[in-house]
Structure 1
Amino acid sequence: MWLLLAFCSAALLGFYDVFKKKSLNGNAVLPVLALNTLFSSLIFIPFILVSRFCPSALQDTIFFVPETGGWEVHKYIVLKSVIVLSSWTFGYFGMKHLPLTIVGPINATRPVMTLVGALLIFGERLNLYQWIGVLLAVVSFFMLSRSGKKEGISFEHNRWVWFVVLAALLGAISGLYDKYLMGMFNNMVVQSWYNIYQLFMMGAVLMFLWLPKRKTTTPFHWDWCIPLISLFLSAADFVYFYALGMDDSMISIVSMVRRGSVVVSFLFGAMVFREKNLRSKAVDLALVLLGMFFLYLGSR
């Protein structure tokens, strides 16, 4: 069951990347990110309020948000917010300046980082099929660097590539931390409150960093894809947290499957954004998909 939920989360994440790329084109990054945290918070605040003041309405549903133990619980969620928001910030800037068909496959290597942590921290063990899937993902990253050079994108010297890589590294750390949190707390508690804490953090960033310099940087303009970023991300994360809460779930596999979102983003990058060098990138994508298939075989 948890594996099917991971595939569902992957599809939702693919559309999240597409709407994010569309919203960032020619747009100021920080306001888009701030609005994402705002709309995500607005999705979950009603669940918190109903659970608090009319608990019988949600008590026996997966949307119920239990009361927390105060700061002893929330300090862990605040740390989650800092990690995720840092990852998003680097990822949003990288997404704005790089083709979607480059960003997607780079992000698809994130589970390799998660895998190393899962092996060291949680003692997870992979079988032969799963190891083949991981190795294919590693090979795809090196092949992608060759495809990027055809567009003048040097993986060694392009700072936006390093932004995406750093975002992926922080995302891997977040994934490992998620497995730890799901062993301690309810998934709705974590998802609801970490979005709210991110809203306050981004409010401070806008006030002290963006607003004073907004007239000298890229101007912000509204795009109706911005609320769709929050909608699809919230749905993807909800399914993801629910899967991680299952006793037999493996973060190394869930994280790898979620990177299947690259299929959706790649197709939109090709058909909607008309990006270049699709033939060589398609080979990289095929390796990622083949890796996903081996992971599926190893998890049956």
Structure 2
Amino acid sequence: MWIYLGLLAALFLGLHNLCKKHAVQGNEVFPVLFGTIIAGFLLLLPLFISSQYAPEFTKEIGFFITDIPWKTHGFIFIKSMIMAASWILAFQALKHLPITIVAPIRSAGPFFTFIGAILIYDERPNFMQWIGFCLIIFSVLLYSRVGKKEGIIFKRNKWIFAIIGATFLGASSGLYDKFLIQSLFLNPQTLQFWFCWYTLLILLCILAITWFPYPKKRAAFKFRWTIIGVGVLLQTADYFYFKALQDPDALIMLLSAIKRSQLLIAVVLGGLIFKEQNKRKKLIPLIGIMLGVFLILYAST
């Protein structure tokens, strides 16, 4: 069951990436990110209110937000800091790079998760799983050759390093999620609500320095409905992902790989919608990435 929940998370993540690319075009990254988190928070706020004033009803429908100790709040705040840094880097990179370059680099996330799963959770890969991950990394490197044809030199482009940093932080957060869900026994909606709350506070501090004091920046901001779409789709994807992690048999390295199937939406539909270059050539390494994911899935059954 957790594998199907992972595939649902991948579906909503792919749609989320398309909305995110549209939302950041011509906009400052921080207010867009702030808007997406507000949208996600407002989606979850009725659940929090219902949990306080109608707990029996909220428990009955399976969306009760539990009371947690301050120590657990501290752990969630750490996750918020990690993901805020990852999103800031990712949004900046997405603003300056084609989605068909950004999405495949992000697909290297399972490699970092894979290593962390071995070292931290003692998850043991087999030979075919190693082949699958090596194939994913090799396919991502092929994108660097395609990127040069679009004027993107990977060694000299700071936004490439930004998306690599975002990928590493995102993978770290994924490993941390397993601890929060399986060791602290947080349910998805409780983790999501407080995560959104603390991330809002972090971004509010950043905006107070970089955006609010500058009228020209505020006037240049363009609201788009995709900003709301990013927040809603992300929370939906996270809910299915956290539900999958609640299964004690779920492997974080396998879930991370399953989520990479979002590339089909990001690269194929994204390339068509945003009319980006070299779409056919990018399909070759995309097939390599998907084959790597398939090998991991096949070897894990």
Q: Per the shorter chain, which TM-score range?
A: over 0.9
| TM-score, structure 2 as length reference | 0.96
Equivalent residue, structure 2, for 1:76:
75
CA deviations over 1:166-223 (Å, ceiling 9, x no partner)? 1001001100100111121322221110011111221221122212245269921011
Instruction: Answer whether contact 1:94 1:161 (CA < 8 A) is retained.
Output: yes
Give distance in 1, aligned partners of 2:228 and 2:75: 27
Between the aligned residues of both structures, percent identity stands at 36
Equivalent residue, structure 2, for 1:262:
263
Give distance in 1, aligned partners of 2:140 and 2:52: 46
Instruction: Answer whether contact 1:9 1:239 (CA < 8 A) is retained.
Output: yes
Equivalent residue, structure 1, for 2:274:
273
| TM-score, structure 1 as length reference | 0.96
Question: Equivalent residue of 2:27, what SS?
Answer: coil
Matched, 1:298 2:268: no
Equivalent residue, structure 2, for 1:103:
102
Instruction: Answer whether contact 2:100 2:266 (CA < 8 A) is retained.
Output: yes
CA deviations over 1:51-110 (Å, ceiling 9, x no partner)? 1221100214431111112x1110000011111111000000000100000001000111
**Residues 1-300 of structure 1: pairs in structure 2 closer than 5 A:** 1-69=1-69, 71-183=70-182, 184-186=184-186, 187-213=188-214, 215=216, 219-300=220-301
Give distance in 2, aligned partners of 1:52 and 1:265: 39
Question: Equivalent residue of 1:64, what SS?
Answer: coil
Question: Equivalent residue of 1:126, what SS?
Answer: coil
Please tell me the residue identity of whatever aligns with 1:246: D
Name the count of aligned residue pairs.
299
Q: Over aligned residue pairs, what C-alpha RMSD do you find?
A: 1.4
Give distance in 2, aligned partners of 1:190 and 1:246: 16
Specify every segment of 5 or more residues in structure 2 that has no aligned partner in the other structure, as ranges. Answer: none
CA deviations over 1:210-266 (Å, ceiling 9, x no partner)? 122452699210111110001110100000011111100011111111121111011
The alpha-carbon deviation at position 8 of structure 1 amounts to 1.0
Question: Equivalent residue of 2:211, what SS?
Answer: helix
The alpha-carbon deviation at position 279 of structure 1 amounts to 2.2
Give distance in 2, aligned partners of 1:218 and 1:262: 34
Instruction: Answer whether contact 1:99 1:269 (CA < 8 A) is retained.
Output: no
Instruction: Answer whether contact 1:26 1:218 (CA < 8 A) is retained.
Output: no
The alpha-carbon deviation at position 154 of structure 1 amounts to 1.0
Instruction: Answer whether contact 1:105 1:262 (CA < 8 A) is retained.
Output: yes
The alpha-carbon deviation at position 113 of structure 1 amounts to 0.6
